[in-house]
Amino acid sequence: MLGLTPEQIAVALAAALAAAFIRGLAGFGMAILLVPVLALAIPPPEAVVTANVLGVLIGMTDVHRSLANAEPTAKFIALLAVLCTPLGVMALWSTDPAVARLLIALVALGAFGAVLLPQRHERHPGWLTTAVTGTASGILTGFAGMPGPPVVPYYLGRRIEPRVARGSMLLVFFATSCAGVGSAVMLRVATVREPLLALTLYPAILLGNWLGHKAFGKVSTRAWRIFVGGVLGAAALGALLKLL
């Protein structure tokens, strides 16, 4: 029914486990790691919708914790992202699949660079920076299933508590996942395959996310930035090299 070989499903499960571990540990990275891998096996729109379905499912398990830890900017960014997600969905479905795969891999590679950017000292960016972050996050949610590239540097680039940064990002990503699924259904680009694949991968997502939550707070900020950046970079580079 999924139209995938056992080898493809095994790779998808391994990617789901690693991606969810990073999400639980760092608060971001699940879609950035998962979508480029899935897009090599299935059409990019299906990979994006599947990642968004998984984002909704796993987001429901810890949304209460995210709300408790998030800063107020997260709600504003999430609102703008939700409003802009349909624009990304429409762009994705009007783009050639080969070009979409390349662009998704490039977005993931850009996210790798964003993780390694040095921290800035300001604690409260201006409203324009916040608005651009929300808008870009929504468009990238619809097009690539990756709301993270604008959001990650917005929070990780500032000197705020890791707990606050992680909770804020998780709240935004839950909202954008809901918007991504809703937009795909509204625009009639979703099929029955995406929920089936998401349910197939969900046990690995649950396990990886639980392991990541257990590891959170037990490693230094520098260590997890290096680890997460390395994994994201390897995934993005691997997808890009395979495409080229």
Cα separation of 138 and 144, whole Å? 10
Name the more confident of 50 and 191: 50
The ranges assigned to domains in the chain are 6-243
Out of 28-42, 102-116, 200-214, give the one with best mean pLDDT. 200-214
pLDDT for residue 200 = 92
Cα separation of 114 and 227, whole Å? 14
Least confident of 24-28, 199-203, 237-241: 237-241
Name the more confident of 171 and 35: 171
**Residue 47 pLDDT level (bands cut at 50, 70, 90):** confident
Q: What are phi and psi of 220, to 5 degrees?
A: -70, 155
**Residue 135 pLDDT level (bands cut at 50, 70, 90):** very high
The answer to whether residues 212 and 24 touch, using CB atoms and an 8 Å cutoff, is yes
> Residue 70 CB: number of other CB atoms within 10 A?
23
The answer to whether residues 183 and 175 touch, using CB atoms and an 8 Å cutoff, is no
The answer to whether residues 145 and 31 touch, using CB atoms and an 8 Å cutoff, is yes
Cα separation of 147 and 137, whole Å? 4
**Residue 244 pLDDT level (bands cut at 50, 70, 90):** low
pLDDT for residue 207 = 95
238 pLDDT above the threshold of 80: no
